[in-house]
Amino acid sequence: MKKIILLATEPEIDPRTRKIYVSLKKHGYHPKVLYPKVKTRKGGRTISALLRYTAYMLQISITKADLYWVANAPDIVAIPLFLLKRRYVYDFRSVWSKEMEAELGKTLWSRLARLIEILAMKNAKIIVLNSDTLQEDAKPYNRPSFLIPNYPLKDFKPTIPRQKFRQIHGAAEDSKIVLYVGRLSRVEGADLIPNLIKELSKHNTIKLWIVGGGSFQDLMKRLQKKHPKNMKYFGWQPYNQIPNFINASDVCIVPRHRDHNSPYYNEKGVLKISEYMLFKKPIVCSGIAPSNQYLLLEEDNLVHGILEALKGNAPIPTPKTWEEDAEPELLTTLKTAFENQNC
């Protein structure tokens, strides 16, 4: 049986890697997740990242497999593979270089990221996309491509009943919970939260729950102190707890800024959106691609959208799961990778 190695810089917190592993195992493949051996966080963000990534690339270089599955972002995981002419599938799940540019500006790092991104796609045997909005970026490389949406597994379920979970965290019976889950960065719109809570705090029954960690976490702590009746910051939470938060909520939000990256993001690629969909929660978004699965507004109108969603004036999304709506294409991808030795 062919040996497949799954590569990601932080596989232990990457749900998509877990889903691919579970599917391959279930269908008779022999996948292995290559966990980085060096995980240091010392020496500052840039130095520690450089040490971790360099060590991981060396680890990849000495690991043999029939096929490698590369999770992009950061795409440096692919460097030893295309240098050594190894056979790999490039899972193009986000435009890493453009996200870096949005957060850091046009720097040497964002330009280097773009170069690595180009080489990773150019040398891939197959390109996998998690959103149809990424297809245009992959076309110039003329590689076989497959769309595998980033939907949640069927076992993405709560472990605590809705009312009990709400009670545990101090939500009154008439409270309306608005939920944000994700990385606390400007890219994911965390800097929009101060204005959101300022407006939402005018409504006594509305509570804003924030789940996640990142560069804006200190700001979230300050906002919680300023608005203790209307906001609760939970910090980073284990992935198996996220279903409890979504199940307990009334409206879920994805507040992003509109920019040139906006068309890349929709429910097929942004996991938290499809997780919200699984629970049929009304979703209010800004700064992403249009879809009939959520209410999309300009960022200045997010509060209005939240209030409308709480009144029932937002789409009820259609649940999608990994097993039913993504796994079949994954198996086709693997079949193609092993059958077409010259692709």
DSSP bridge partners of 32: 5
**Residue length, the chain?**
343
Phi/psi zone of residue 291: left (φ > 0), alpha (ψ -120 to 50 degrees), beta?
beta
| Distance of alpha carbon 266 from alpha carbon 10, whole angstroms | 23
Give the tens place of pLDDT for each residue, 214-226: 999 999 999 999 9
| Distance of alpha carbon 144 from alpha carbon 20, whole angstroms | 19
**Best CA proximity match to 180, nearest among 149, 148, 224, 226:** 224
Give 295's contacts (C-beta < 8 A, 6+ positions apart): 282, 283, 284, 285, 305, 308, 309, 314, 315
CATH topology agreement for domains 3-148+326-339 and 162-310: yes
Give the tens place of pLDDT for each residue, 136-192: 888 899 999 999 999 999 999 999 999 999 999 999 999 999 999 999 998 899 999
Q: At 64, list the tokens.
A: 């043999």
Position 343 scores a pLDDT of 45
Give 331's contacts (C-beta < 8 A, 6+ positions apart): 23, 27
Average of pLDDT values for 308-313? 96
**Best CA proximity match to 325, nearest among 19, 12, 40, 101:** 19
Give me the residue spans of the domains in the chain: 3-148+326-339, 162-310
Three-class SS of residue 153?
Answer: coil
Fold of the domain spanning 162-310: Rossmann fold (3.40.50)
CATH code: domain 3-148+326-339 is 3.40.50.2000
Give the tens place of pLDDT for each residue, 56-106: 999 999 999 999 999 877 788 899 999 999 999 999 887 777 777 766 677
Query: What strand order describes the sheet that includes 145-147?
Result: 30-34, 3-7, 67-71, 88-92, 126-129, 145-147
**Best CA proximity match to 182, nearest among 281, 266, 273:** 273
* CA distances (Å), origin 235, targets 165, 166, 170, 211, 219: 16, 17, 16, 5, 12
222: part of which helix (H) or strand (E)?
helix 217-226
**Best CA proximity match to 17, nearest among 2, 3, 4, 1:** 4
- Is residue 60 within 8 Å of 80, Cβ to Cβ? yes
Position 14 scores a pLDDT of 86
Position 313 scores a pLDDT of 96
Q: At 331, list the tokens.
A: 């198996």
User: Range with the lowest mean pLDDT among 50-54, 94-98, 194-198, 257-261?
Assistant: 94-98
DSSP character for 240? G
- Is residue 177 within 8 Å of 199, Cβ to Cβ? no
Pairing between β-strand 67-71 and β-strand 3-7 as defined by DSSP bridges: parallel
